Every structure is written in structure tokens, then in C-alpha cells.
Amino acid sequence: MNDPPDTPVLDNHLHLDPRYGRGLEAVRDFVRLGGTHLLVVNKPSWLLDVEADEPADFEAVFEETIEIVEAATEILPGRAWPVLGVHPGLITRLVDDRGFDPEDARDLMCGGIDVAASFVEEGRALALKSGRPHYEVPDPVWDASNAVIRHAFDRGARLDCAVQLHTEASEDLTDLAELAESVGLDRGRVVKHYAAGELAGPIPSVMSERDRLTRAARSGQPFLMETDFVDDPDRPGAVLGPKTVPRRVRWLLEEGYEEAVHRAHVETPKAVYGIDTEATFDR
């Protein structure tokens, strides 16, 4: 193996499961290939055996995420940060499987966002996560989901923190950027996870596939890189494995995209999250 690139290497969105998945072994794989920094998003609450009935029930999910983030930081040449929130797919689970009205599901999920926001306010988490289903849902569920997003944006604006979004596949989410700005959150603090190479509205967190990354690199626009590694033993390697971002960074450098690598791993993280990947990087 060649020496790792002499640059911060950030995976902007992945999950670590300390109970059922690879957990810290996935972090070690990331480091062995040259990875340095991680943004770890809590897994959907139900995958950590939490069927929330009230907002406080999300606390256990967030605490477990913070614990593995702290352990990951001990392994990384840089560090990890937690991103906490409520997975938008929960609304379907609540409405279809548990008999919630969309409005009651909305209120529970907004309460979960409030709990996540309290962790950000205390300095224990970096950013919030929210979104809306990426599949067809009835209008009342869609409306409730957008209300949850608005609530997350409002909390992000009050805390001056970024909000990561899980949404439908799209290269134009101007509606969500405008919604953020309507409650005082700069669209530059809104991140679309699982993005294509270019995106109107929020900042794209680009899935680390060569064609998407080539578009992002050539665009000249801010972007981040991610794997959305789900750390599920029933789906090994899904969505992309933890080695992917370091491998793609090496490939981008070989292709001559040094400026794009700096943009994705230094400039954009600083602009979006206020983090300094260079200052926290110790090879």
C-alpha cells in the first residue's frame, strides 16, 4: 500500500453500531487506508432497540452514539464528531406500524430533535440530522415531515449549527434551502446527505462513487464526501464500506484534483460545521 495522503480525510456521514455491527473495527479500516476524521450519525432509533413513545426515549440512542464517537477519536489521527437527530423514516414506522396520527408522529419527532439540540447546546454534538422520506407517502405524512425539517432548521438557527438532511434523490432542493433561510439558518449550514455530484440549494455530501465525485470536483462548488456506511451485519459493506473515502481521496489526487480534495476535506467542513480538520490532524 502507498503512503496515505498527507491531508485530512473526512467521511461526512456514516454510522457505527457498537452492539451488532463492526463498530471500532470499521474505524480501524478507515484509518489504515488513510482516513483521519469522521462525522458519525446516530443509527435510526429502532435499530438500537428504541421504540420511542416520548422525546426522552431518544436520549439512550444519542448517548450510545457519543460513546462510540469518543472511542473512535482515540483511534483516529484526527477526531470524530457526533451528528444527532431523528431519522425521517421513523414517521412511517410510527404511522403505519404503531397507529400514530401524522401530527402526533410529527410532535414526537420534533421532541426528539429538541433532545438532540440539547446535546449540541451542551457541546456534546456537532450538528443535527433531520429529513423527509425518500419514498412516496401520503400528503399528511409529507406535510408532517416538512414540519419536522422546519423545526430542525429553527433549532439549528438558534444554536448556529449545521443540519444534515436525509431526503428524496434530487439535484434541486432549493425549497429546503429557502425553508432554512425563512427561519434564520444560512443555506450554507444545510447539508444534503447521499447527494449526487452537484446540487442546487444545500451543500452536497457526495456519495463517494467516481462519477459523482468527478462532477463535484469539476463543479468548483463546496462539497463533502461520504459513504453512508450503515454498519449492519446483515448488509456488510452497505452502503459503501469505511475504506471508500480514503481510497477515493487517493484516486482524486492521482487524477489531479488536489484543489477539490482541499475543498471537500478542509474548506467545506470549516464553512459548514466550523471545524478545523487541519488543526485536529496529527499523522
pLDDT exceeds 60 at position 283: no
Summarize the confidence of residues 203-222 as an average pLDDT: 98
Number of separate domains in the chain: 1
Give the pLDDT of residue 234.
Answer: 84
Q: Is residue 4 part of a domain?
A: no
Pinpoint the alpha helices (H) of 55-101: 59-75, 90-92, 98
**Upper half-sphere CA count for residue 118 (Cβ side, 13 Å):** 11
The pLDDT tens digits of the residues spanning 5-28 come to: 789 999 999 999 988 899 999 999
Give the pLDDT of residue 237.
Answer: 66
Under DSSP, the state recorded for 45 is G
Q: Is residue 279 part of a domain?
A: no
d(CA 181, CA 262): 27
pLDDT exceeds 80 at position 238: no
Q: Is residue 278 part of a domain?
A: no
pLDDT exceeds 70 at position 2: no
Q: Is residue 59 part of a domain?
A: yes
Give the pLDDT of residue 50.
Answer: 96
CATH of the domain at 36: 3.20.20.140
d(CA 12, CA 20): 22
Which percentage of the chain shows pLDDT scores above 70? Answer: 98
Do the beta carbons of residue 82 and residue 125 sit within 8 Å? yes
- 194 pLDDT band, cuts 50/70/90, is very high
- The reported pTM is 0.96
- 262 pLDDT band, cuts 50/70/90, is very high
d(CA 267, CA 71): 26
Summarize the confidence of residues 44-53 as an average pLDDT: 96
Q: Is residue 1 part of a domain?
A: no
Give the pLDDT of residue 19.
Answer: 87
d(CA 183, CA 21): 38
Q: Is residue 122 part of a domain?
A: yes
1-10, 74-83, 239-248, 265-274: segment of lowest average pLDDT: 1-10
Residue type, 105: A
Task: For 173-203, give one letter per residue: b (16+ CB within 10 A) or e.
Answer: beebbebbeeeebebebbbbbbbbbbbebbb
SS3 108: helix
- 79 pLDDT band, cuts 50/70/90, is very high
Q: Is residue 280 part of a domain?
A: no
Summarize the confidence of residues 61-82 as an average pLDDT: 98
Give the residue numbers spanning the domain of 55.
10-273
Mean pLDDT of the residues in the chain: 96
Do the beta carbons of residue 197 and residue 204 sit within 8 Å? yes
Give the pLDDT of residue 272.
Answer: 98
Q: Is residue 282 part of a domain?
A: no
